[in-house]
Structure 1
């Protein structure tokens, strides 16, 4: 017995049969109980709310870390500025002491 090439009509009939079979299978499926559907929807909403809260907490933690980093950088900058001002004041004091010694030497002459 040789292989027979299926015609277009054969393929179309097979496709129609498969479609009808899938439709019958879908129709045979029992209806979803409204209580079960409501319970599933409530569970889904609870999961979504929990996920939304988790995302909000994560975003808040990231923002707090960013603010902490900024505050730390500002504190370091303030410390550097204070040290710079202390060095400037020390330099001014040293110059004033040098000028006082110079004026004292000049006054002796």
Structure 2
């Protein structure tokens, strides 16, 4: 037996339009049913995004503080090294000045002794 129903173009077009309308209606129903959940999901997403931004800001703040601490420590070490170098330079300079003054004193004492011996010798010759 043949299909008694006629399958004209108009019938096929009408069936397609009905199917599209049914799909559209189903989509609208799903969207309407999800509407309350949509608000909740959006609020949840916003809360998650805000928490993410807060964590990011906290990480950046901690990194900045750590960088500042490291820079401060480096500056302190640099200042300490400079102070130590200055102290060593001053100590070397003082030691050099002391050595020079001792050399001058020794030279003056040696000259004074030589002059005394010369004066004694001259006194004996007279």
When the two structures are superposed, what TM-score results if normalisation uses the length of structure 1?
0.71
Q: Indicate the residue corresponding to 1:7 in structure 2.
A: none
> Which residue does the alignment assign to 2:38?
37
Match of 2:64 in 1: 63
User: Unmatched 5+ residue regions in structure 2?
Assistant: 1-15, 112-126
Distance in structure 2 (CA, Å) of the matches to 1:87 and 1:27: 90
Aligned twin of 1:25: 23
2:93 aligned residue: 92
Higher helix share: 2
Q: Which residue is 2:77 aligned to?
A: 76
What is the Cα-based RMSD across aligned positions, in Å?
2.5
> How many equivalent residue pairs?
93
Distance 1:27 1:67 in 2: 61
User: In 2 relative to 1, CA 77–23 (structure 1 residues): closer, same or farther, beyond 3 Å?
Assistant: farther
CA radius of gyration, larger in: 2
Gaps of 5+ in 1: 1-16
